[in-house]
A and B are shown apart, each in its own frame.
Chain A
Amino acid sequence: MMKNRGRASWSQGKLLIAGGLLLLTASCKKTDYLNINAADRPALAAHISFVNARPVNVGIQFWTYTTQVTKTAVPINGKSDYLDAQFGDVQINFTEGTNTSYKASREFGNSATFTSSGGPNGPIANYYHTVFAVKNTKATADSLILFYDDLTAPAAGKAKIRFVHLAPGNPNVDFGISGQTTLFTNTAYGRAGGSILSGTGFNTWSIGPFVTVDAGTVNFQVTQNSNHAPVSISNNQLSSVSLQAGKIYTIYINDIPGSTNVGATILTHN
């Protein structure tokens, strides 16, 4: 009697189990993507070269939110390599030397438009960026500014250049190569030459656009837009500059510690 009961329950049990399994297997695949280990995805990052354009002779460290990104302090007018950084809505900060308090913080990406609080947008995954730590027109204040770097190679025999005005208190300037047409006109402090920040033509690359020039040795000239008077560049940094074919450059002007002169720095992106 007991044996019979046992057999009956086993075969009926098998039926139950088979029915259950059928349903379970049917349901597995479709929803797998809603149950992934999100930490187990290939890495993705923005690439940022951090530049110390402050007229203060102290190396600085850059941070995204609470994570220090630069491993060694970036000296005055120095730059880091392109470092992997967070993308999206990103707060970028910098600290002086080994000091841990932020000298400046700015959140990029929390606004759709190019505004004081959030312009223009954050670092973009897989894109290359240059972030400048700068001095503001107000004597004690620092700030940060971000440009997207279009690193597509220039045509054969050509180089690409961009100009950025980071010298507070100086008027709008024109920038060009001596003896040639002006490359960028009427560039205000805090702007890249030829930038478009709103309306038609406003896009990722229009904030800090590059122009293509012939490779070779050139003399750059910076003039005041209002009266075309030359702006003297300390140590003639912009004279006899060798532009190599295929290279991409950013040239910026800024203040010099303890001086009223304007300095200039040439960054090579590749």
Chain B
Amino acid sequence: MKKIVLLLIFFSLYYGQNVFAQKRTVTGVVTSADDKAPLPGVSVTVKGLNQGAVTRADGSFEIVIRNGKYLIFSFVGFESQEVEIDGHKEFNISLKPSGNALNEVQIVGSRNANRTKLNSPVPVDVIDIKPLLESAPQVSVTQILQYISPSFHSVNGSNAGDAGSALSLAQLRGLGPDQVLVLVNGKRRHKSANVNYGGLGNGSTGYDLNSIPTGSIDRIEILRDGAAAQYGSDAIAGVINIVLKKKTDDLSVSSTGSTRRRGDGAVTRTNVNYGVGLGNGGYINATAEYATQAISLQPGNDDAGLYNGPIYGGGANTRGYDAVYTKAIDDAILKSRGIDRHFFDQRASGSNAGQDALLFFNAGLPLKNSAELYAFGGISSRNSQFTATYRLPGWTSRNNNFIYPDGFLPAMENNIVDESIAVGIKGKVGDWNVDFSNVYGKNVFGNRVDNSLNASLGLKSPTSFDAGSYNASQNTTALDFNRYFDKILKGLNIAFGAQHRVEGFQIIAGEEASYSKADQRNIVDIDTTVAGIPYLSSAGVTSLNGLSAGSQIHLGFRPENAVNVSRSVTAGYADVELNITKDWLISGAGRAEYFSDFGNVFTWKAATRYSFAKWLSLRGSANTGFRAPDLAQSYYTSISTTFQQGRGVDILTASNQSAAARALGIPKLSPERSKGYTLGITSAPGSNVELTVDAYLINIDNRVGNTGNFSATDANLPQDVKNLFQQTGAAQANFFYNEFSTRTKGVEFTGSYNVLLNKGDIKFLFGGNFAKNEVTQVNTPKGLEAYKNVILSPGERARVTTNIPAQKINLQGIYSVDKFTFLARTVYFGKVTTATLLSAADPLNPVYFYQTLKPIWVTDLSVGYKFTAKLQGTVGVNNVFNVLGDYSNPTIAGLRNPTVVGIQNGSAGIQPFVRLSAHL
């Protein structure tokens, strides 16, 4: 009901201002100077005013003018034109392709520079990020996309575990964060070195969009179709292309702050963007950005997540009170310490405390003969502090109460550094556009553990540890050719090129205390009870003497885990796009790649589009794709602690190269293969209305994942696997394996409607994605057929099928009038189902608890006001109705009160924000 009232207020604002002034209507048609074709989607604005219109599918427009002297016509890929109105009523405008019209990827998915999103044979969303940065509550790239793109899901915060929570990875259509490719200015971006553990994207690496400052981004294009044949590995679910700003002669500063309901979890982000012209059409645009995230309380009610069990007693963390250790004893200790149960609260997940500092630039320098030298890149350093399960004081196998009398909340401090630099030169050789470029990128992921201890070292344990680091690097050299033949039928675009890429991955060991298993003396263990007192017999070396080893929350990398590996990738591709008639486009692409570690891969793609009428075009595509296993997946190994029914279990993620993996019959990793199909319609049924509907089907074979956990107590495992348990002290182990195949199918729709009012304008956007992900096959090594539910555990199966909302709907309106801008938006996150381990008593058939979380609508409102032409203020609210979604079921909440699960959108409840932006 509240939603309806707010929408009514919004619309009354929109209708209530029909104050008519002296006005007249002018009309006209905009065409391309190149081929005289009408240009739809061209922005027509009155200079200095908010008033504007957009050209229709036939290039025509109509605009109501009250005052103003000039009209500005602007369109991506074309030079803007300014025309004096001066009493004219009709304008016929011809726009020239911009700059030197080289092979600039205007729209990802096509190498034809004039492709627009409506005449593309494959679905592409073009998200202009600037109005969202002005009006929307979200400040990070991934959260902005999460609230505007129906297919997009961001793995951040509560959605990813451990170090993964420091990152904001991108997922499309519910597929993995490594099954989408990210480009910057059309060039492949480097990946994060981190392998996600637990949570969404388990066992995969991904592209960390938040390593790029939002202030540097002009727009983001999302190609919702497989395009490995065009761009190579990873482009299975789609491709995200981040296009950097080129703006010059503008210094803009923007600062946003927001806080949660109780003043916790404050977020700030401030950026400065400055562009300068570099003689003769050149530019350099640079951005500096600084962001902070404060510690958050558990969302929801004040007692969410409160610990109810024994704190200082032997049952801490594992069982309830008993006759000996009663609640009264705990209460008396708490009283003597001057604290209450909230002292043992855990921080809200999904919002690691941290600071980000980012620098980015984008530059182009025209040379002789219409050539251009270009460069872009940047460096960012981000700190993220992940805290996990509170080690309660009585939990003495993990806590030493001489060091931490009240227990401790261990923190993993990740320092994440990304550096990238792209340098290229593009120009004409004969009639061919040529682009020669080199792009280098590296991600360094440092692991420091604070406020923790290595319990096995006893009182000698340090409380801070250098747990080691890992990094991934990538250098791509590419030579691309592109030519448009306007005389062949209705136009033919041919592109081809070659690339050479070197990828590296390195693990650097931590300090000894971060991984050591101290004091492994024989201890004697209980055998049986005779006459009242347990009889004790030597049990040999009991794992870790009962104490947990290594720095808790994250064990350091051991020297034998350290690796420094690389591989090279050589690729050649060809890409053809032909307009057979004015209305019929066909395109095809093929790409061959050679990976030094596993050999050849060939992929192809075909697409077509036919325009029946202005209001109806049909488009479709078919493609094959692949994803090469990351070096990190092949070589990563570490131990983490997972809590199963409240008990901490040290779990080894074993290297795919290990003897244990071979002993289990798990082969070296091979590429995932995909086949994708789309079929859709696009329509421009009326003035300033665009609609697209696309159905898709993606089959992926042999996806690489982390298996479930093999148990040290399983007598049937090969000796090499048992040795691995003995060497590491882990109780369970998992492996990287090409373990399952999936089918993803769904329908996506998008629409936009721009209304020019007598005063102001309103832009509606809507979109939706209805998808279904299912597992079609689980691979098992020979002889391990019975381990099907271990290899793909029900928990992991849920992550890849039902953990991401299969239904998502975005509705947004931005209304600009006079000095005001209003934003109203609501996003529907469909139901999700989680699976939580209840019992692994039968390791081959673990018992899981399934919980389905009800759908939620998250609504944002904001109002912006221009104090002066140079200074704007915006206030608003994210999640105005404080919709939290379901709490965890008491069955799985354990000794703590249920908490808000929050995996649908990671929302933390109502979150007001203020923003000031200035153009100086």
Cβ of A104 within 8 Å of any chain B Cβ, yes or no, is yes
A66 touches B324 (CB 8 A): no
Q: Is the CB of A24 within 8 A of B525?
A: no
Q: B535 and A143: CB pair below 8 A? A: yes
CB-based contact A86/B402 at 8 Å: yes
Closest Cβ–Cβ distance, residue A157 to chain B (whole Å): 29
Whether A142 pairs with B536 at a CB distance below 8 angstroms is yes
Assembly CA distance A136 to B526 (angstroms): 12
| B920: interface (CB < 8 Å) | yes
Stretch from B52-60, B341-349, B739-747 forming part of the interface with A: B341-349
- Stretch among A32-40, A212-220, A227-235, A261-269 lining the B interface: A32-40
Q: Are the C-beta atoms of B533 and A43 separated by less than 8 Å?
A: no
A23 contacts B258, CB within 8 Å?
yes
For A122, the chain B residues whose CB sits under 8 A away are 313-314, 325, 394, 396
Q: Is A189 an interface residue (CB 8 A)?
A: yes
Residues of the A chain whose Cβ atoms lie less than 8 Å from the Cβ of B403 = 39
Let me know if B444 is at the binding interface, CB within 8 A.
Answer: no
CB-defined interface of B815-834 with A at 8 Å, one 1/0 digit per residue? 00000000000000000000
Q: Which of chain B's residues have a CB closer than 8 A to the CB of A58?
A: none
Chain A residues with CB under 8 A of B258: 23
8 Å CB contacts to B: which residues of A111-153?
A: 112-113, 115-118, 120-122, 124-126, 134, 136-138, 141-143, 145, 148
B396–A65 CB distance below 8 A: yes
Cα of A45 to Cα of B270 in the assembled complex, Å? 48
Assembled-state Cα–Cα distance A87/B253 (Å): 55
A208 → chain B closest CB, angstroms: 12
| Contact call A12/B322, Cβ cutoff below 8 A | no
Would you call B477 an interface residue if the criterion is a C-beta within 8 Å of the partner chain's C-beta atoms? no
In the bound assembly, the distance between CA atoms of A16 and B914 in angstroms comes to 10
The answer, among B320, B323, B536, for a CB contact under 8 Å with A105, is B536
Q: Is A241 an interface residue (CB 8 A)?
A: no
Q: B532: which of A43, A88, A125, A189 is its contact (CB, 8 Å)?
A: A189
Contact with B along A86-109 (1 / 0, CB 8 A): 111111010000001111111111
Q: Is the CB of A30 within 8 A of B263?
A: yes
Stretch at the interface among B1-9, B515-523, B713-721: B515-523
A113 — which chain B residues lie within 8 A by C-beta?
A: 322
- Determine whether the beta carbon of B396 is less than 8 Å from that of A191: no
CA A126 – CA B405 in complex, angstroms? 12
- Is residue A207 contacting chain B, with contact meaning CB distance below 8 A? yes
Q: Which residues of A contact B457 (CB under 8 A)?
A: 66
Q: Does B397 contact A (CB under 8 A)?
A: yes
- Once A66-B547, A108-B314 are accepted as A-B contacts, the answer to whether A44 and B393 lie under 8 Å apart by CB is yes
Contact B533 A136 (CB under 8 A): yes
**Interfacial chain A residues near B519, Cβ < 8 Å:** 66
* Cβ 8 A contact of B325, one of A23, A102, A124, A137: A124
Q: Give the complex CA separation of A229 and B522 in angstroms.
A: 43
Residues of chain A contacted by B324 (CB below 8 angstroms): 120-121, 148, 202-204, 207
Against B, the Cβ 8 Å flags (1 = close, 0 = not) of A140-179 are 0111010010000000000000000000100000000000
B122 to chain A, nearest CB (A): 42
B336 is an interface residue with CB less than 8 A from chain A: yes
B905 proximal to A (CB < 8 A): no
Is B255 among interface residues, defined by CB-CB distance under 8 A?
Answer: yes
| Best-buried of B404, B405, B409, B455 by chain A (most CB within 10 Å) | B405
A8 near B870 (CB under 8 angstroms)?
Answer: yes
Does A91 lie within 8 Å of B323, measured CB to CB?
A: no
Q: What residues of B have a CB within 8 angstroms of the CB of A20 in the complex?
A: 255, 257, 268, 270
Among the 9-residue stretches B39-47, B134-142, B291-299, the one with 4 or more Cβ atoms under 8 Å from chain A is B291-299
**Are the C-beta atoms of A19 and B257 separated by less than 8 Å?**
yes
A12 proximity list for chain B (CB < 8 A):
253, 870-871, 916, 918, 920
Number of interface residues of B (CB under 8 A): 94
Select which of A22, A84, A126 is within 8 A of B333 by beta carbon. Answer: A126
Contact with B521, one of A100, A142, A145 (Cβ below 8 angstroms):
A100
* B459 in contact (CB, < 8 A): yes
Taking the closest CB of chain B, its distance from the CB of A204, in whole angstroms, is 5
In the complex, which range does the number of interface residues on chain A fall in? 35 or more
- B636 on interface, CB distance cutoff 8 Å: no
Q: Which residue of the partner chain, among B316, B329, B395, B534, contacts A143 with CB atoms under 8 Å?
A: B534
Q: Is the CB of B297 within 8 A of A31?
A: yes
Contact residue among A116, A124, A126, A189 (Cβ-Cβ distance under 8 Å from B336): A126
CA distance A134 to B534 in the complex (A): 11
User: Do residues A31 and B545 form an inter-chain contact, with CB atoms below 8 A?
Assistant: no
In the bound assembly, the distance between CA atoms of A43 and B402 in angstroms comes to 7
Q: Which chain A positions have C-beta within 8 A of B322?
A: 112-113, 121
Q: How would residues 33 to 61 of chain A score, 1 for a CB under 8 Å from any chain B CB and 0 otherwise?
A: 11101110111110000000000000000
Take A20-B255, A88-B313, A103-B524 as given contacts and tell me if A27 and B535 are in contact as well, using a CB distance cutoff of 8 Å. Answer: no
* Contact among B262, B266, B405 with A24 in the assembled complex (CB-CB below 8 Å): B266
Q: Mark A13-26, 1 if CB is under 8 A from B, else 0.
A: 10111011011101
Q: Return chain B residues, CB-CB under 8 Å to A143.
A: 533-536
Chain A residue contacts of B255, Cβ below 8 A: 16-17, 19-20
Selected A-B contacts with CB under 8 Å, 11 pairs? A12-B918, A27-B259, A41-B405, A105-B523, A108-B314, A116-B528, A125-B312, A126-B333, A136-B530, A136-B536, A188-B531
Not counting A23-B258, A202-B324, a sample of 10 additional A-B residue pairs whose C-beta atoms are within 8 angstroms of each other reads: A9-B251, A16-B270, A19-B914, A30-B264, A65-B546, A108-B314, A115-B529, A121-B313, A142-B536, A145-B533
Binding site for B on A (CB under 8 A): 5, 8-9, 12-13, 15-17, 19-20, 22-24, 26-31, 33-35, 37-39, 41-45, 64-67, 84, 86-91, 93, 100-110, 112-113, 115-118, 120-122, 124-126, 134, 136-138, 141-143, 145, 148, 168, 188-191, 202-204, 207
Q: Which 6 A-B pairs have the closest CB atoms?
A: A109-B314, A190-B532, A88-B394, A23-B257, A122-B314, A27-B266
